[in-house]
């Protein structure tokens, strides 16, 4: 056993030192990078938000100029949606999916590496120019004609548009990887019907990403074309249509919200099950609700456009489709509460985050029903009511479960537990501060405060509630600092957790903490959606036969997860990094000249050829 | 529910010159009653969730009591409640939408054009003529007015929450909405679609007034400036310096169309689209250093001497 462990450890290890850092294809190592980068950006964006709240805390504050404020909210929104929320959810999937499948790796390990380097390129695309004083200043949506060549000279808008290309290519790469891994690499016995709700959430979210993201890449490319080579997609004078941008943007933009929210549902399912010490109540309704949300999500983008003056015929349809989301979301909430009620809840920090999720997200969902109404939305859209709504949905619906998930899987990643006491303190401060900060914004919106204004007059009567909101933000920031400190200190001082500190229900708890390079020596055979609880005493049934001398992964059938073949899995390679560098050069260059696309394609083709060059010798070795 | 009480409390307390809760027009009244219905349905839904969660957390548990059966029934009831609530809200929403969309006989048509960062306003005067003003909209009480909304540069959004919901102003497109003011008084509107640097300072003063008063106001706005009117020195500077390139004062040599019409500028409450009150001092300040008052505005800093600027301010002040 020990000899086999050492052999597997060697087979799946990275080269030592910096070369290993650059060439690794270990999904956990790459996902950790993704998560840490996203957390760093989350902190930076949070500081931006804090700064904006200071500016708005009272009428006519002079902390920021109009230009600086516009840059701040543009940077905050773009970072949070494109560089934090979506990537961090994908990174969580990258880290957890192979473990929950009892697999050694993912379907396309090198694609993960490529994805991270490209994502990092997108991060630098936005934040390096920011340090040089060139920051996009038109919000996270950049509607033309304001973002067109006539009203936005310079490169601020190009930087924003190309940052999206970066991150969306990266997101597509991970999503394809997650979807294929879940569909084709499930352990024997894990039929689609017996797949944990977490994996369903990640699968549905990945498929939605694959369908939704091309729309935004298309629309930002059209914007760049308008700006760079004078096409007229969005210029009315040249026969273009400014609303085309909004349709394409929101065809992506609304599903994006669920792409962020569904992984949150996955975290909640996993945490509720473990901490209620009971199988998830209503596994089938929860999964069907996810599918219903995914389908509805593509039929309601127009609810972002009720005020643009589209024919009223469609209003009723889009109103009904948007409100209909309340049904699957309501069923999910019911099932989570029922699981707690039926089980024997253990009130550790992760479960507290889930309770915070229910209390907060439901308010966001209900204000969503209000904004879904076509006529009522005419009063609510583009006001602070919507600012409150979207933060209740995204922070309450996705970030609270993410913080819960972070606490829940922290011992799996580090081998140590985070402090429960400080966890409770940080949870209470963040959740309390959040509600103090954002609840008053509903009222501010009804009192007529529009979004994206850098200041307001004292006669408007918005000062008091804004001061309360800023106070709430400060409280939440203190809580966030405690959370970060808790995570850092626990890394060295935390109580050792062992493999399974929570008596978790899913397969990741079957391997050591932190997992070894290969994670699983043999693929477990499962009988239910909570495989760890099937046979608590006896040894885990496993399927032997995967080589320990070369990298191999098990491929199973799509529906029934019957073993099909042993797939050779690629080892460390520098080519994903080189390919990402070349792609980055192409993307950056195409801001300045369209010829960058042409000449950039040549080195890219060469690098991809090198990346995909067949490696026969390893095959032979595998057969030997 | 707590939220509802809080909102009602605030409704009574605040001035509400720009507020969706302080209703002064038919369309806003329709929307606030729809909002009240929503608050009731959503408030009850939230209460149910809280009760269920609270009960689930604190209930006494016995080993025998793990049957899922009652929960299936409970879930069916929950789904039924959601469905009923949604049907109610979709129907109410549909009816409200239909009432907003009704095209009635409209005696008055006003064209409002969004510019970075001000509003051009033109009243239909019959025989194809339009009476132009800027940044201040007067509406006769009880009369439905058809607003024709356009944009000159980028997307803006017309929003006077006390009167009606918002409607975007989109280049290459004309949007129409009907507004019926009910309560006399001054209200404030503001651009609601981010439109660039000074989006925050793109406000609109709105006055709902009795029909007779409105007619007198409109007749006053229609009148061009008579030849001898105004401070002669200031008028001369205005027409000879760069002012007249962008601004129009009807009846004089100033015929610029780029910036707001200034024919009766002194009759307005504010200057620079609600950025400063209409006083001699702010007029002079705005002429000399517009970028200090509204950074980014299209109004260029002037090269007038202090005496000339003073004269122009005095001249404009007489244009009532």
A488-519 confidence digits (pLDDT tens): 999 999 999 999 999 999 999 999 999 999 99
The residues, ordered by sequence, that sit 6+ positions from A463 with a Cβ below 8 Å of its Cβ are A58, A59
Whether residue B116 is found in the same domain as residue B260: no
Centre a 10 Å sphere on the Cβ of residue B138 and count the other Cβ atoms it contains: 20
Whether B19 maps to a domain, the answer reads yes
Task: Quote the distance between the C-alpha of residue A520 and its chain's center.
Answer: 26
Element housing A126 (H / E):
helix A109-131
Q: State both tokens at A163.
A: 């940052």
Whether residue B252 is found in the same domain as residue B288: yes
**Contact (CB<8Å) A381/B295:** no
**Euclidean distance between CA atoms A254 and A391, whole angstroms:** 14
**Euclidean distance between CA atoms B234 and B239, whole angstroms:** 9
- Average pLDDT per consecutive 10 residues, chain A (624 residues; last block may be shorter): 88 95 97 97 97 96 95 97 97 98 96 98 96 95 94 94 95 97 97 97 98 95 94 92 96 96 98 96 97 95 94 90 96 97 94 97 97 96 98 97 98 97 98 98 97 95 97 98 97 95 95 94 93 83 91 95 94 96 96 94 96 70 46
**Euclidean distance between CA atoms B181 and B214, whole angstroms:** 12
Whether residue B283 is found in the same domain as residue B192: no
Contact A437, A395 (CB under 8 A): no
Contact A307, B166 (CB under 8 A): yes
Among B168, B187, B196, most A C-beta atoms within 10 A, so best to mutate, is B168
The partner residue sitting opposite B31, judged by closest CB among A340, A363, A378, is A378
Element housing A554 (H / E):
strand A552-556
Residue at a domain's end among B176, B194, B222: B222
Whether B2 maps to a domain, the answer reads no
- CA angle, residues A122, A124, A130, in degrees to nearest 5: 120
**Euclidean distance between CA atoms B121 and A20, whole angstroms:** 67
Whether residue B48 is found in the same domain as residue B151: yes
- Please indicate if any CB of chain B lies within 8 Å of the CB of A344: yes
Chain A residue numbers touching B96 (CB-CB < 8 A): 373, 375-376
- pLDDT confidence of residue B15: 59
The partner residue sitting opposite A338, judged by closest CB among B71, B96, B161, is B71
**Euclidean distance between CA atoms B208 and A290, whole angstroms:** 50
Q: Quick one: closest CA in A to B277, which residue? A: A457
Centre a 10 Å sphere on the Cβ of residue A376 and count the other Cβ atoms it contains: 29
**Contact (CB<8Å) B295/A379:** no
User: Cα dist. A52→A48, A76, A352, A455, B20 in Å?
Assistant: 6, 10, 29, 10, 25
Kindly report the nearest CA distance between residue B95 and chain A, in angstroms: 9
Whether residue B256 is found in the same domain as residue B181: no
DSSP per residue, A127-166: HHHHHTT----STTT--TTTTSTTT--SSHHHHHHHHHHH
Residue at a domain's end among B159, B190, B222: B222
Centre a 10 Å sphere on the Cβ of residue A232 and count the other Cβ atoms it contains: 14
- Please indicate if any CB of chain A lies within 8 Å of the CB of B293: no
Whether residue B205 is found in the same domain as residue B292: no
Chain B residue numbers touching A342 (CB-CB < 8 A): 66, 68, 71
A to B CB pairs, distance under 8 Å? 241
Which B-chain residues 72-91 have CB contacts (< 8 A) with chain A?
Answer: 74-75, 78-79, 82-83, 85-86, 89-90
Whether B5 maps to a domain, the answer reads no
For chain B, what is the mean pLDDT?
91
A554-568 in b/e form (b: 16+ CB < 10 A) is: bbbeeeebeeeeeeb
- pLDDT confidence of residue A345: 93
**Euclidean distance between CA atoms B47 and B27, whole angstroms:** 30
How does DSSP classify residue A13?
Answer: P
Asked whether the CA dihedral B153, B154, B160, B164 is positive or negative, the reply is positive
Whether B4 maps to a domain, the answer reads no
**Contact (CB<8Å) A334/B52:** yes
**Contact (CB<8Å) A309/B175:** yes
**Euclidean distance between CA atoms A412 and A438, whole angstroms:** 33
**Euclidean distance between CA atoms A403 and A277, whole angstroms:** 20
- Please indicate if any CB of chain B lies within 8 Å of the CB of A237: yes
- Please indicate if any CB of chain B lies within 8 Å of the CB of A312: yes
Domains and CATH numbers, chain A: 1-240+538-624 (1.20.210.10), 242-495 (1.20.210.10)
Whether B301 maps to a domain, the answer reads yes
Whether residue B124 is found in the same domain as residue B263: no
Long-range contacts of B52-61 (CB under 8 A, 24+ apart): B52/A334, B52/A337, B52/A341, B53/A337, B53/A340, B53/A355, B53/A358, B53/A359, B55/A341, B56/A337, B56/A338, B56/A340, B56/A341, B57/A340, B57/A341, B57/A345, B57/A355, B59/A341, B61/A344
Identify the residue whose tokens are 């930087």.
A159
Among B192, B196, B282, B295, most A C-beta atoms within 10 A, so best to mutate, is B192
Over 80: is that where the pLDDT of B104 sits? no
Kindly report the nearest CA distance between residue B205 and chain A, in angstroms: 13
DSSP per residue, A14-58: PPSHHHHHHH---HHHHHHHHHHHHHHHHHHHHHHHHHHHHHHSS
The phi, psi pair for B235, rounded to 5°, reads -60, -40
Determine the 3-state secondary structure of B113 from DSSP. strand
- CA angle, residues A188, A194, A197, in degrees to nearest 5: 125
The partner residue sitting opposite A342, judged by closest CB among B3, B66, B188, is B66
Of the candidates A39, A166, A170, the one whose C-alpha atom is nearest the C-alpha of residue A116 is: A170
Chain B residue numbers touching A460 (CB-CB < 8 A): 17-18
**Euclidean distance between CA atoms A361 and B50, whole angstroms:** 12
Chain B residue numbers touching A237 (CB-CB < 8 A): 172
User: Cα dist. B63→A131, A272, B60 in Å?
Assistant: 61, 19, 10
Number of compact structural domains in chain B: 2
Of the candidates B274, B77, B252, B97, the one whose C-alpha atom is nearest the C-alpha of residue B190 is: B274
**Euclidean distance between CA atoms A107 and B260, whole angstroms:** 63
The partner residue sitting opposite B93, judged by closest CB among A331, A373, A447, is A373
Chain B residue numbers touching A319 (CB-CB < 8 A): 90, 93-94, 97
Kindly report the nearest CA distance between residue A62 and chain B, in angstroms: 13
Integer distance in angstroms from the first to the last C-alpha of chain A?
21
Contact B162, B182 (CB under 8 A): no
Q: Quick one: closest CA in A to B44, which residue? A: A366
The CATH number that applies at residue B134 is 2.60.40.420
| Farthest CA pair distance, chain A | 82
- Please indicate if any CB of chain B lies within 8 Å of the CB of A297: no
- pLDDT confidence of residue B127: 81
Over 90: is that where the pLDDT of B7 sits? no
Chain B residue numbers touching A376 (CB-CB < 8 A): 31, 34-35, 38, 93, 96, 165
B233-242 in b/e form (b: 16+ CB < 10 A) is: ebbbbbeebe
Contact A529, A195 (CB under 8 A): yes
Whether B240 maps to a domain, the answer reads yes
Whether B60 maps to a domain, the answer reads no
**Contact (CB<8Å) A381/B100:** no
**Contact (CB<8Å) A307/B154:** no
User: Cα dist. B17→A508, A513, B30, B144, B161 in Å?
Assistant: 58, 61, 18, 21, 9
Element housing A564 (H / E):
strand A563-568
Whether residue B76 is found in the same domain as residue B37: yes
Q: State both tokens at B226.
A: 């008579």
Which residues on neighbouring strands pair with residue B179, listed in sequence order? B145
Whether residue B25 is found in the same domain as residue B135: yes
Whether B63 maps to a domain, the answer reads no
The phi, psi pair for A37, rounded to 5°, reads -60, -45
Whether residue B263 is found in the same domain as residue B307: yes
- Please indicate if any CB of chain A lies within 8 Å of the CB of B16: yes
Residue at a domain's end among B189, B222, B255: B222
Confidence of residue B11 (pLDDT cuts 50, 70, 90): very low
- Please indicate if any CB of chain A lies within 8 Å of the CB of B270: no
Which whole number is the average pLDDT over B168-180?
Answer: 95
**Contact (CB<8Å) B90/A316:** yes
Whether residue B127 is found in the same domain as residue B203: yes
- Please indicate if any CB of chain A lies within 8 Å of the CB of B2: no
**Contact (CB<8Å) B10/A447:** yes
Of the candidates A203, A325, A191, A201, the one whose C-alpha atom is nearest the C-alpha of residue A269 is: A201
- Please indicate if any CB of chain A lies within 8 Å of the CB of B34: yes
- pLDDT confidence of residue B130: 94
**Contact (CB<8Å) B57/A367:** no
Which A-chain residues 262-291 have CB contacts (< 8 A) with chain B?
Answer: 278, 281-282, 285
Chain A residue numbers touching B68 (CB-CB < 8 A): 281, 342
Chain B residue numbers touching A330 (CB-CB < 8 A): 45, 78-79, 82
Over 50: is that where the pLDDT of B8 sits? no
Which residues on neighbouring strands pair with residue A239, listed in sequence order? none
Of the candidates A365, A141, A114, A115, the one whose C-alpha atom is nearest the C-alpha of residue A264 is: A365
Determine the 3-state secondary structure of B167 from DSSP. strand
Q: Quick one: closest CA in B to A354, which residue? A: B53
Chain A residue numbers touching B17 (CB-CB < 8 A): 459-460
Helix ranges (H only) for A392-498 are 400-414, 420-446, 463-493
The phi, psi pair for A346, rounded to 5°, reads -115, 115
Whether residue B248 is found in the same domain as residue B209: no
How does DSSP classify residue B242?
Answer: T
**Contact (CB<8Å) B53/A447:** no
Domain around B218:
14-55+70-222
Which A-chain residues 363-402 have CB contacts (< 8 A) with chain B?
Answer: 363, 366-367, 369-370, 373-379, 381-383
Among A319, A376, A383, A440, most B C-beta atoms within 10 A, so best to mutate, is A376
Burial class (CB in 10 A: 0-12, 13-18, 19+), B173: middle
Chain B residue numbers touching A308 (CB-CB < 8 A): 168, 170, 175
Among B82, B167, B272, B273, most A C-beta atoms within 10 A, so best to mutate, is B82
The partner residue sitting opposite A373, judged by closest CB among B34, B46, B85, is B34
Of the candidates B92, B181, B180, the one whose C-alpha atom is nearest the C-alpha of residue B144 is: B180
């Amino acid at each position: 056993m020990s000899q086999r462990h050492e052999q597997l450890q060697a087979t799946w290890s990275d080269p030592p030192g910096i070369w290993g850092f650059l060439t690794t294809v270990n999904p956990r190592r790459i996902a950790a990078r993704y998560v840490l980068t996203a957390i760093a950006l989350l902190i930076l964006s949070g500081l931006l938000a804090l700064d904006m709240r200071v500016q708005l805390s009272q009428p006519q504050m002079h902390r920021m100029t109009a230009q600086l404020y516009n840059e701040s909210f543009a940077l905050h929104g773009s970072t949070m949606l494109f560089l934090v929320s979506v990537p961090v959810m994908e990174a969580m999937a990258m880290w957890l999916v192979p473990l929950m499948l009892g697999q050694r790796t993912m379907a396309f390990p090198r694609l993960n590496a490529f994805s991270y380097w490209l994502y990092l390129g997108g991060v630098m695309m936005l934040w390096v120019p920011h340090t040089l004083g060139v920051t996009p200043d038109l919000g996270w949506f950049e509607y033309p004609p304001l973002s067109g060549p006539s009203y936005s000279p310079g490169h601020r808008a190009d930087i924003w548009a190309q940052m999206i290309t970066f991150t969306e290519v990266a997101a597509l790469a991970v999503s394809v990887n997650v979807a294929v891994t879940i569909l084709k690499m499930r352990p024997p016995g894990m039929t689609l019907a017996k797949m944990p709700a977490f994996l369903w959430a990640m699968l549905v979210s990945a498929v939605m990403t694959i369908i939704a993201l091309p729309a935004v890449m298309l629309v930002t490319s059209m914007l760049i074309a308008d700006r760079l080579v004078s096409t007229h997609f969005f210029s009315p004078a040249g026969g273009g249509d400014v609303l085309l941008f909004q349709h394409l943007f929101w065809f992506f933009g609304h599903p994006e919200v669920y792409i962020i929210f569904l992984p949150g549902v996955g975290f909640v399912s996993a945490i509720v099950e473990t901490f209620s010490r009971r199988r998830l109540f209503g596994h089938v309704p929860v999964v069907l609700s996810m599918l219903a949300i995914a389908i509805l999500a593509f039929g309601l983008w127009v609810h972002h456009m009720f005020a643009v003056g589209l024919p009223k015929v469609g209003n009723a349809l889009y109103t009904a489709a948007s409100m209909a989301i309340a049904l699957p979301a309501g069923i999910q909430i019911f099932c989570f509460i029922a699981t707690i009620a039926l089980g024997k809840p253990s009130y550790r920090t992760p479960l507290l985050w889930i309770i915070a999720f229910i209390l907060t997200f439901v308010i966001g969902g209900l204000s969503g029903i209000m904004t879904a109404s076509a006529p009522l939305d005419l009063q609510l859209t583009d006001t602070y009511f919507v600012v409150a709504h979207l933060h209740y949905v995204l922070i309450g619906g996705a970030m609270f479960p993410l913080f819960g998930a972070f606490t829940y899987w922290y011992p799996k990643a580090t081998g140590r537990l985070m402090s429960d006491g400080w966890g409770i303190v940080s949870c209470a401060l963040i959740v309390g501060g959040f509600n103090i900060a954002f609840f008053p914004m509903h009222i501010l919106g009804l009192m007529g405060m529009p979004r994206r204004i850098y200041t307001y007059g004292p006669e408007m009567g918005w000062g008091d509630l804004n001061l309360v909101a800023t106070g709430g933000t400060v409280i939440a920031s203190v809580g966030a600092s405690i959370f970060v400190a808790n995570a850092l200190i626990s890394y060295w001082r935390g109580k050792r957790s062992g493999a399974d500190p929570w008596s978790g229900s899913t397969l990741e708890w079957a391997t050591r903490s932190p997992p070894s390079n290969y994670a699983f020596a043999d693929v477990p055979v499962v009988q239910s959606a909570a495989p760890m609880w099937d046979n608590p005493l006896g040894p885990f049934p496993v399927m032997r036969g995967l080589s320990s001398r070369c990298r191999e992964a098990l491929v199973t059938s799509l529906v029934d997860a019957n073993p099909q073949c042993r797939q050779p899995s690629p080892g460390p390679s520098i080519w994903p990094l080189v390919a990402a560098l070349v792609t980055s050069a192409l993307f950056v260059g195409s801001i300045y000249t369209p010829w960058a696309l042409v000449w950039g394609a040549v080195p890219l083709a060469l690098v991809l050829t090198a990346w995909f060059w067949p490696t026969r010798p390893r095959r032979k070795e595998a057969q030997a | 529910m707590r939220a509802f009480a809080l909102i009602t409390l605030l409704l009574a307390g605040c001035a509400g010159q720009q507020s969706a809760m302080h209703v002064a027009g038919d369309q806003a009244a329709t929307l606030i009653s729809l909002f009240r219905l929503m608050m009731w349905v959503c408030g009850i839904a939230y209460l149910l969730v809280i009760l269920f969660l609270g009960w689930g957390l604190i209930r006494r548990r016995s080993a025998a009591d793990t049957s899922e059966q009652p929960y299936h029934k409970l879930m069916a009831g929950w789904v039924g409640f959601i469905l009923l609530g949604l049907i109610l809200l979709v129907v109410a929403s549909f009816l409200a939408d239909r009432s907003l969309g009704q095209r009635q006989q409209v005696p008055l048509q006003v064209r409002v054009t969004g510019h970075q960062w001000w509003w051009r306003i033109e009243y239909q005067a019959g025989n194809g003529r339009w009476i132009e003003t800027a940044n201040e909209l007067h509406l006769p009480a009880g009369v439905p007015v058809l607003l024709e909304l356009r944009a000159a540069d980028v997307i803006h959004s017309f929003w006077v929450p006390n009167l009606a919901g918002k409607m975007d102003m989109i280049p290459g497109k004309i949007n129409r909405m009907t507004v019926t003011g009910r309560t006399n008084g001054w209200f404030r509107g503001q651009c609601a679609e981010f439109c660039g640097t000074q989006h925050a300072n793109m406000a609109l003063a709105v006055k709902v007034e009795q029909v007779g008063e409105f007619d007198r106001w409109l007749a006053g706005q229609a009148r061009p400036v008579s030849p001898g009117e105004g401070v002669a020195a200031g008028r001369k500077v205005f027409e000879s310096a760069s002012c007249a390139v962008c601004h129009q004062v009807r009846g004089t040599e100033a015929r610029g169309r780029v910036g707001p019409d200034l024919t009766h500028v002194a009759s307005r409450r504010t200057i620079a689209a609600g950025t400063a009150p209409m006083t001699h001092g702010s007029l002079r300040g705005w002429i000399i250093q517009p970028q200090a008052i509204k950074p980014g505005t299209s109004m260029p800093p002037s090269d007038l001497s202090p005496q000339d600027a003073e004269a122009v301010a005095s001249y404009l002040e007489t244009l009532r």
